[in-house]
Structure 1
Amino acid sequence: MAPQTKPVQEDFARMVDIGGGRQIWATCKGQGSPTVVLLSGHGNGAEDWSLILDPNDPVHQTPLDDVSAGLGKLVTSDAAVFPSVARTTRVCTYDRSDIRFTGEVTTPRPQPHTVDLDVSDLHSLLAAIGERGPYVFVSHSYGGLISTLYARTYPESIAGLVMVDTVSEVMQDLVTPGALDWWDQVNAATNDVVREGVMIKDAFAQINAAGTMPKVPSIVLVADKPFHEIPPETLQGEHTTFTDWLAMVNKLGANLGAKTITKTNSGHNIYLYNPKLVIDSIDEIVDDVRTTSTASTPQATDPAARPTAAGQEDIAGTFDIGGRKMYMQCTGHGSPTVILISGGGIAADLWDSPLGKQPTVYPTIAKTTRVCAYDRPGTTRARAEGGISRSDSVPQPVTPSSSVADLHALLAAAGETGPFVLAAHSYGGLVARLFAHQHPTEVAGMALVDSFSPELREAMADLWPSWIAWNTTPAAIVKDYPDYERVDFDKALDEFVANRTIPPMPLVVLTADKPYPAPTQPGIPANINIVTREAQDVSQRQVAQLVPGAEHITKTDSGHDIMLENPVLVSDAIVDVITAVRNGRTSIN
């Protein structure tokens, strides 16, 4: 089948800025869809997919996996996987941290590391280089764990899988705890040759806690040359064996419902021993994806097809808003465009954070329409490794009006046009409401997620000074990050004296229903959390009453960060607003 083309796809091999001070070396080549993404094994990188085992090397004829033992002549070849796949579709690969040590290298990280960091890096990389799905992931060894967690986290983006003798979480069901501990320690260890350490048991736990694996066309390739036995003097206690490995890979194939190929005439690095088999497997999955895509693509007359806007490419980067830059990322297609506005001090990651439950809001909304998230100056990243705002700093504290001006300029600089649905959390609720007041023709709907509001100050007037003291940014945070986003609460709320109304539009208000934590600062009334909870409930009802036909959701099973604790509920609320906008309604009900 002929390749399905995408707009202008440049060939490149370069460093890519993925935000948060990190860069990844990546290379892409070829034209067409789906994009094939090659994920290397433990300690290996992009270069491996352009190599083969010399066809004349006698290692091909030996019974054991000599390549994994460091034997055999590897040569760069046009018959290798990367250049071969590039002749039929788009293909990309990249280096993880601590793979190469000379030339342009991916930003290092502490080792050993966890698999979610690799998933986060890959997701950010694909967005930064503008490679839209669907993707066919082709993974070798440890790369299989990355592709599995990625597919469970972003199931809508994965169209097919080729697993090349990969590690799988099913190993924990096949070996003793002692053998699994040994294997975990071996993979976590680093040395002067292999500087990447991976945490296998942690990866298994993360995969088991993630969403379900999508049902997509899959092929699993199994090595049939045993690896060299480990010298007995290096083994202590229980360990995994080649028999265990074979059982693991075959069970993976069964679990995926995959075509499993066990006659590979190859050791562990099948793409080196038998590149044609890997290439043929990729071509088979790509053809399957193209056939399915062609059959299921909605035509213009299909009422289920979502409305689209011209020029909607995935973006992730900084944009000049007039003397400084701000970070924004957008993905998906359709109208209206959803703008996700985080609460005070939190960057875009809030809506796609590995710290919360899955599936997260950002990729979920992208299935339905265009969605964007951005970093305000001085915010911090909602990830285990932390990180500061990818937007240039500004003087603090900020106000809703300055935040609205920034957002409006950023949308224009990024080429994002309305109508917009604003989905906002906490302080972001002030930004959304003022944006809608100042730019009423651009905003078609809103979802306010336990938002901060002028109604809260009125509902707890007696304890308001104590509330300010309770919520003032601690001095230690400001000392550590002087540019950290801070809000002058009274000044911020004073901006709403003449801007209290919300124009008629589909509106959903979501209110947390779990208690706020008790105060720990000295001098704060012990009941401030209880009073705040009651006042917030009152204020949220009042906000919902500002728009006729608004929906107020009070059963959220969540604390303040509803998008982390109950992301499905938040996503459903946003989709309800999108649907109402598309149907031409000015209210939810």
Structure 2
Amino acid sequence: PYPCTSTTLGAPAAAAREELHPLAGQPVEVTVDDGARLHVEVDPADTAPAGAPSVVLVHGYGLSADAWHFQRLALRGRYRLVLPEHRGHGRSTRGPAGPVAVARLADDLGLVLDAVAPTGPLVLVGHSLGGMTIMELAVRRPDLLERTRAVALVATSSGGLAAFDHGLPLLGRHLVRWAEQALQRTAERADVLERGRRLGAEVEQRLVAHWSFASPVSPEVERLAARMMAGTSVGTIADLLPAFGTLDESEALTALAGRPVLVVAAERDLMTPAAHGRTIADAVPGAEHVLVRQSGHLVMLEHPAVVTSRLERLLARAAGGDGAPAGDEVVLPLSERSRAARAAAATRAARARGGRR
């Protein structure tokens, strides 16, 4: 069990005693054209009205379907949820070794949807690499785009990552190139590297926390993030790393126009900078752009209530409800709003005392 508290995560108070345990749905295995076996979790809808969309939650690089734990917990039963795991991630097999382009992941996602959601409306939600995959899918599978009622892109980028320093000025770009070369050279010795990762698990958890979160989170959430990343093989990391430097989804952004689009950016994201979210929102007319203060790359785990509430509003818009886009919005997570409210109250009290003197 992985207990967590609402004070750290900004979740509803009723969730304070809830344990962060793995969620399980109906497992489906989809074998794609090159032999990779992709694991998919499907949560059926208990109360969704006729014609409600299947909500597809696509995780990011080095993660698994568990990255959507809190959103899945909030939405399950109300919508049919589809949670695929990228090749080499979670319980999916790696497939043939070698470089993997985002286009390959988009083709995988299309085949998964053909298998588990062949008809009916869709809402596509992607974090980081998952968002890139959805953007590429919009170009490669216009038939699926036609069925898509809304899209959410969370802490992701449409391109230009080769010029980013990943929070390490002067060194970041060189380190990425060095990592690509080192991973390629040592792919045949992956077993040695995996043993080293296990020995350095505590250090890895600290590094994961540094690059994933910008505010304090519970140790359980830190361990969840570290566990997902430790479960992704060195081979998979090597296969995908070069794809980020050549990413260009500008064509896809044009294709997304004409439907509700939510762009969530994290203020202190060291992996896909907040400015990249701004770029995406500017390129999609009518997109809702939300910047989450005091948040890192794993914003849906760090401040789950913020992300979930925006997804629920997007789903209302997709259904033709009154969840109108808010336009540009900067959101303070619950814990920060509480601190700000306390500070404001203290200021008012001090002024009142001064007035009585």
From the two aligned structures, give the one with the greater helix fraction: 2
Q: 1:447 maps to what in 2?
A: 152
Residue 339 of structure 1 deviates from its aligned partner by: 0.9
Q: 1:513 aligns with which of 244, 267, 290?
A: 267
Q: Is the 8 A contact 1:448 1:509 kept in 2?
A: yes
Q: Is the 8 A contact 2:278 2:289 kept in 1?
A: yes
Residue 320 of structure 1 deviates from its aligned partner by: 3.0
Residue 558 of structure 1 deviates from its aligned partner by: 1.7
> How far apart in 2 are the matches of 1:445 and 1:324?
28
Q: 1:343 aligns with which of 57, 60, 77?
A: 60
Percent sequence identity over aligned pairs: 24
1:469 pairs with 2:177 = yes
Code of the aligned partner of 1:469: R
Q: 2:32 aligns with which of 321, 330, 334?
A: 321
Change (3 A) 1:584 1:466: farther
Q: Is the 8 A contact 1:340 1:372 kept in 2?
A: yes
Q: Is the 8 A contact 2:59 2:65 kept in 1?
A: yes
Residue 515 of structure 1 deviates from its aligned partner by: 6.0
Q: 1:285 maps to what in 2?
A: none
Change (3 A) 1:337 1:395: same
- SS state at 1:569 partner: helix
1:403 pairs with 2:115 = no
Name structure 1 gaps, 5 residues minimum: 1-114, 117-148, 154-207, 214-313, 353-359, 382-388, 517-531
Code of the aligned partner of 1:318: E
Q: Is the 8 A contact 2:85 2:92 kept in 1?
A: yes
> How far apart in 2 are the matches of 1:457 and 1:491?
4
Change (3 A) 1:559 1:491: closer
Q: 1:493 maps to what in 2?
A: 247
- 1:334-373 correspondence to structure 2 within 5 Å: 334=48, 335-352=52-69, 360-373=70-83
Code of the aligned partner of 2:65: A
Q: Is the 8 A contact 1:377 1:394 kept in 2?
A: no
> How far apart in 1 are the matches of 2:56 and 2:252?
21
Q: Is the 8 A contact 1:548 1:587 kept in 2?
A: no
Q: 1:425 aligns with which of 117, 127, 133?
A: 127
Code of the aligned partner of 1:372: V
- SS state at 1:493 partner: coil
> How far apart in 1 are the matches of 2:84 and 2:101?
17
Name structure 2 gaps, 5 residues minimum: 6-12, 19-24, 195-232, 327-357
Q: Is the 8 A contact 1:329 1:374 kept in 2?
A: yes
Bigger Cα Rg:
1
Question: Residues 216-259 of structure 1: CA distance to partner in whole angstroms, max 9, x if unpaired?
Answer: xxxxxxxxxxxxxxxxxxxxxxxxxxxxxxxxxxxxxxxxxxxx
1:211 pairs with 2:11 = no
- SS state at 2:28 partner: strand
Q: 2:290 maps to what in 1?
A: 553
Residue 576 of structure 1 deviates from its aligned partner by: 1.3
Q: Which runs of 4+ in 1 moved over 6 A?
A: 584-587
State the TM-score, normalizing by the size of structure 2.
Answer: 0.60
- 1:120-135 correspondence to structure 2 within 5 Å: none
> How far apart in 1 are the matches of 2:323 and 2:257?
9
Q: Is the 8 A contact 2:39 2:84 kept in 1?
A: yes
State the TM-score, normalizing by the size of structure 1.
Answer: 0.38
Change (3 A) 1:432 1:585: farther
> How far apart in 1 are the matches of 2:286 and 2:127?
21
- SS state at 1:484 partner: helix
Change (3 A) 1:500 1:396: farther
Q: Is the 8 A contact 2:149 2:318 kept in 1?
A: yes
CA RMSD in angstroms, aligned pairs only: 3.6
For CA contacts below 8 A with separation 6 or more, give which structure has more relative contact order.
Answer: 2
Q: Is the 8 A contact 1:399 1:487 kept in 2?
A: no
Residue 342 of structure 1 deviates from its aligned partner by: 0.9
Change (3 A) 1:488 1:515: closer
> How far apart in 2 are the matches of 1:424 and 1:506?
14
Q: 2:335 maps to what in 1?
A: none
> How far apart in 1 are the matches of 2:119 and 2:30?
15
Q: Is the 8 A contact 1:512 1:560 kept in 2?
A: yes
